Chains A and B, each alone.
Chain A
Amino acid sequence: MTIEMNIPRVEPKNAVKSKKETHVGASTHAIESLVAKMQINKVSIFYDKFRAVEDITMTIPLNQITAIIGPSGCGKSTLLRSLNRMTDLTPRSHVEGEVMLDGDDIYAPHVDVVDIRRRIGMVFQRPNPFPMSIFENVAYGPRLYGIHDRKMLSSIVENSLRQAALWDEVKDKLDQSGMAISGGQQQRLCIARALAVEPEIILMDEPASALDPIATLKIEELMQELKSTYTIVIVTHNMQQAARVSSFTAFMMINSHRAGTLVEFGETPQIFTNPKNKQTEDYVTGRFG
């Protein structure tokens, strides 16, 4: 599927390995100073022989929030997980195509997966704090990188919790278990934990679906704050959330081969008010889904 966007594509550093179509598409919208952070090129994800996600090509712009929407089972979570190679953990699955992070394919051989996952963080649908104190949860990542000095750790922990808008609520109980706080707070703790290793991109897999509306709102506000420093990709089944929060939206659906494909990708206002594709229109207007 070719998607026409006016975002300059980041060309791979190495020689061209596969055919690439160049699209310098015509766009009627002004996009100023937009840079691609990730480029997804014809990515397909397989479980054994079964192709679950087919030929996705799209761009993730830097410092923006990109939403991936679509009916359940259309492969959006699978696609998201392929962006930080969490799909490697599923036995008998493999990924074809390229996922370029700043011009380097993260699926190239000899790529350090551990490094990729540090640079691309992930927040999951259900908050999953470790059974440790709040402090230890956030300090977990930095400790892996050899930071053991107590003062430095405290400063990183405070910084991360502030960025996750959780500091004020927990600053007096950093020694309490990370599981002893509310669901919404746990999710922000997980975000703080991910931020502590200084990622460049944050992937969010339906981060608010297990939370109540007020906690959801807090998470959405948080995302807006974070996007100036990080690039965010969010998968959500909640269209209104996508419309509220994101600047760009990708709409996915299952095709006739039972594989998830990208139907349309564009700026969020355009997708929701003036979709180019009939299927998109049907979905966003609620005719099915």
Chain B
Amino acid sequence: MQKLSTQKSNQSSVFALISRITEHGDIPWRMLIMAMALLVIVLMLAIGALLFRDSAIARAQFGWAFISPFGESSWDPVGDHFRAWPFIFGTIITSLIAIVIAIPFSVGIAIFLAELCPPWLRSPLSLMVELLAAIPSVVYGLWGIFVFLPLVVAPSGTFLADTLGVIPGLDLIFAGPISPSGASRLAAGMILAIMIIPTIAAVSRDVFMAIPPSQREASLAMGATRWETIWKVLIPYGLSGILGAIILGLGRALGETMAVTMVIGNSIEGSTSLLRPGYTMSSVIANEFAEAVSALHSQALVEIALVLFFMTLILNMIARLLVWRVARRNAQEARA
């Protein structure tokens, strides 16, 4: 009996030794990859933290009035008086223009690529749409200044100003004249639209392709046309995913800097018209930060960056939630 038990304990100790050794190799590895994962998270927090720290004085000085649309809004580096509303307004307006233009195109492209396109054409076309997103922002700006603005925006702007800009009520949005170069919020919005279409279209296309074919079959078998199926079944089905895609695109538009700065005119005259030059949050940071006049000036600019950071953060979270909801529903159905 005793012999058996010592034999057994010898065996188990050998196994114990081996497993301890292999664990040994694993523990440093696991710690390493965990540390790197932590690094990413710490980085995200650090960005928020540094922005917070370096805007402390400005935040203390101006409080919530900094971003308020009410009260007098002026940006005065000389007098050390800063309100960010004109830039927030500019960012929101240009992004809205971009979204309004981009949504129908992106959804249309997504429908075409997912539902109608012959399979052999799908990859090359998708690639080309995605290449639109690969063009560097400055190149969009360059082309914007010298090609798109004079050829497309300036004439359209003049047309809009003459037709819609004279109608009372609409003149808030379309009052001219558009500056001779074409630099305006409209220009920025249009170029932004081109830049975010690939984002929205690609995600929406994936949403459509994830919808189970049985939904299409059910509708077509009842005698619905393809378009009716897309419009009445597929779009409602994938709506939260498409919404998520749109919000992702909106996030990109909010943060876009170079192309916007190059074509928007960078001026904060008081008009609300799309045809007049504007100024966005990212543009003012790009233009003024390197030569900020005073410490308060720098801090105010960092505070703008902080606001921008939070805006994109929140939009990102909403988008993730929406896309996650679609994924969850698809999984539910797959199980059912």
Contacts and interface: CB of A to CB of B under 8 A. Distances in A.
Interface of A: 84, 86, 89, 91, 114-119, 121-122, 124, 126, 128-132, 140-141, 143-144, 179, 183, 190, 193-194, 197
22 contacts: A84-B221, A86-B220, A114-B223, A114-B225, A117-B223, A118-B223, A121-B221, A122-B217, A128-B215, A130-B233, A130-B236, A131-B329, A132-B236, A140-B224, A140-B233, A144-B222, A144-B223, A190-B218, A193-B218, A193-B222, A194-B222, A197-B222
B23 interface: no
B233 A126 contact: no
A91 B220 contact: no
A10 B251 CA distance: 64
A129 B225 CA distance: 18
B223 A124 contact: no
Contacts of B236: 130-132
Interface string B181-216: 000000000000000000000000000000010110
Contact of B222 (A89, A118, A126, A131): A118
Contacts of A132: 236
A131 B217 contact: no
Contacts of B233: 130, 140
A134 to B, nearest CB: 14
A86 B216 CA distance: 11
Task: Please report whether the interface of chain A is mostly helix, strand, loop or mixed according to DSSP.
Answer: helix
B237 A124 contact: no
B80 interface: no
Given A126-B214, A128-B215, A140-B232, A114 B237 contact: no
A122 B119 contact: no
Q: Which 5 A-B pairs have the closest CB atoms?
A: A118-B223, A128-B214, A122-B221, A117-B223, A128-B218
Interface size band for B: 20 to 34
Nearest to A122: B221
Given A126-B214, A128-B215, A131-B329, A141 B237 contact: no
B53 to A, nearest CB: 47
Interface of B: 118-119, 212, 214-215, 217-225, 228, 232-233, 236-237, 329, 333, 336
A144 B212 CA distance: 22
A121 B222 CA distance: 6
A131 B329 CA distance: 10
A91 B119 contact: yes
A116 B215 CA distance: 19
A136 to B, nearest CB: 10
A84 B223 CA distance: 10
Contact of B218 (A91, A115, A130, A143): A130
Contacts of B220: 86, 89, 117
A121 B214 CA distance: 15
Contacts of A143: 232
B228 A144 contact: yes
Nearest to A88: B220
A179 B118 CA distance: 32
Contact of A86 (B215, B217, B228, B237): B217
A117 B218 CA distance: 11
A58 B212 CA distance: 33
A117 B215 contact: no
Contacts of A84: 221
Q: Taking each of A91, A118, A144, which has the highest tally of chain B beta carbons within 10 Å of its own beta carbon? A: A144
A197 B215 contact: no
Nearest to A141: B222
B222 A128 contact: no
Contacts of B225: 114
A132 B224 CA distance: 17
Given A91-B118, A183-B336, 10 more contacts: A114-B224, A117-B223, A118-B222, A124-B221, A128-B214, A130-B219, A131-B236, A141-B222, A144-B222, A197-B222
Given A91-B119, A144-B228, A183-B336, A130 B215 contact: yes
Given A128-B215, A130-B215, A179-B336, A141 B221 contact: no
Contacts of B219: 130, 140
Contacts of B217: 86, 89, 122, 124, 128
A86 B221 contact: yes
Contacts of A121: 221-222
